[in-house]
């Protein structure tokens, strides 16, 4: 069990310690789950309020929060400090040292220094594994693939032929890099091509052979990239699919063939990026957003959750909705909808008066017609 003093924790967190008493810290937790040897993480107002109910004797708090009789470590950026503390207490998965007896390594493969390969790992012909890299059970590295140094692959990772992975890359369970792209063609124009060209489908019910377009490109992953569980990144059709340095990708993300993802991007769970998209640097794509093929997203853009992005956007855009539009335009649309709702409510309120007025007008017209007819006779 890891144990730290408050002084050690304050130094790592970069915080200011106000110590009421000495406490040996063995774990960190929210206030309501903390015991006497826990550092309570009171990062927001609710957690600070819960300190009155905690068993903990020490807490990590935002700058300016000081509680009498309580040891506190005040920090300017609580979430950043939390990351540093979690790193202190984190224990890496159990990894066998060296090469497991059941691992299979092709004779032409090159294995670096201090590499760990788990049970049933397969390293194919001419693959290269860099120094200090760890590949856990049931991993596969394809023909001619190149893996950098200090990488960590969780169980069940599949690396296709000729894929290149940089240094210090983390791949979680079930990641697939380098499967064929979803590329097909028909002998004659199909419905999709007609719809794109003419805006309508003129013909249908015609059976056509769908030919697969093989993918002869590859996938290149930069340095210090992390990719979440069961995420799939397809190889390019001719050119390579590329993910830039320092980009972080969540679980269950799909990135299509020929895409180019910039540096320092954050791509959240269940995002789908269709083929040949170009994503700039430091772009954030929130959960379940979908991007159509062949569009470009500029640097520092934020795409909101569940956005349906069907066109390109320039740098520093904030994109919302489906179909996606700039945030200001989306807010304007919401206001129009609200105003329309108010108008409908007012109309319903005065609808009886309107009907009464119309009936009165109709009666007057009828009376006038009758009177005119009588006078004529």
Q: How far apart are CA 324 and CA 295, in angstroms?
A: 13
- 257 as an active site residue: the answer is yes
- Lookup result for tokens 């097909």: 184
Q: How far apart are CA 238 and CA 240, in angstroms?
A: 7
Q: Count of CB atoms within 10 A of residue 7's CB?
A: 12
Q: Count of CB atoms within 10 A of residue 58's CB?
A: 27
DSSP 188-236: S--HHHHHHHHSS---------EEE------EEE-TT-EE-TT-EEEPP
Using alpha carbons, list the distances in angstroms from residue 220 to 92, 225, 304.
26, 11, 27
126, 154, 173, 257: the active-site residue: 257
Q: How far apart are CA 172 and CA 353, in angstroms?
A: 67
**340-345 CB contacts, 8 Å cutoff, 24+ apart:** none
Q: Which amino acids are annotated catalytic? A: 257
């Amino acid at each position: 069990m890891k144990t730290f003093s408050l002084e050690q924790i304050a130094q790592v967190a970069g915080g200011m310690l106000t110590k009421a008493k000495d406490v040996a810290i063995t774990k960190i937790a929210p206030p309501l789950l903390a015991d006497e040897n826990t550092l309570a993480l009171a990062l927001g107002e609710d957690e600070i309020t819960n300190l009155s109910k905690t068993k903990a004797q020490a807490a990590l708090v935002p700058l300016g929060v000081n509680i009498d009789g309580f040891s506190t470590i005040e920090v300017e950026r609580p979430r950043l400090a939390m990351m540093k503390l979690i790193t202190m207490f984190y224990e890496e998965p159990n990894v066998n040292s060296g090469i497991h007896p059941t691992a299979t390594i092709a004779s032409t493969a090159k294995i670096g220094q201090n590499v760990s390969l788990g049970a049933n790992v397969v390293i194919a012909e001419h693959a290269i594994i860099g120094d200090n890299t760890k590949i856990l059970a049931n991993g596969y590295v394809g023909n001619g693939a190149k893996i950098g140094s200090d990488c960590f692959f969780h169980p069940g990772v599949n690396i296709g032929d000729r894929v290149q992975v940089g240094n210090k890359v983390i791949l979680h369970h079930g990641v697939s890099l380098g499967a064929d792209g979803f590329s097909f063609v028909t002998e004659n124009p199909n419905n999709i091509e007609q719809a794109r060209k003419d805006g309508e489908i003129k013909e249908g019910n015609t059976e056509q052979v769908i030919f697969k377009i093989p993918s002869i490109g590859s996938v290149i992953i930069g340095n210090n990239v992390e990719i979440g569980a069961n995420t799939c990144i397809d190889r390019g059709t001719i050119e390579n699919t590329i993910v830039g340095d320092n980009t972080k990708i969540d679980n269950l993300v799909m990135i299509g063939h020929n895409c180019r993802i910039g540096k320092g991007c954050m791509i959240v769970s269940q995002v789908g990026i269709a083929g040949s998209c170009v994503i700039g640097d430091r772009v954030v794509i929130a959960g379940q957003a979908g991007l159509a093929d062949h569009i470009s997203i500029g640097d520092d853009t934020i795409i909101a959750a569940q956005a349906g992005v069907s066109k390109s956007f320039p740098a520093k855009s904030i994109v919302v909705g489906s179909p996606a539009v700039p945030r200001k335009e989306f807010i304007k649309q919401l206001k129009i909808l609200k105003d329309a709702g108010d108008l409908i409510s007012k109309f319903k309120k005065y609808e009886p008066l309107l009907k009464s007025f119309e009936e009165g007008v109709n009666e007057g017209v009828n009376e006038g017609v009758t009177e005119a007819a009588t006078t004529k006779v």
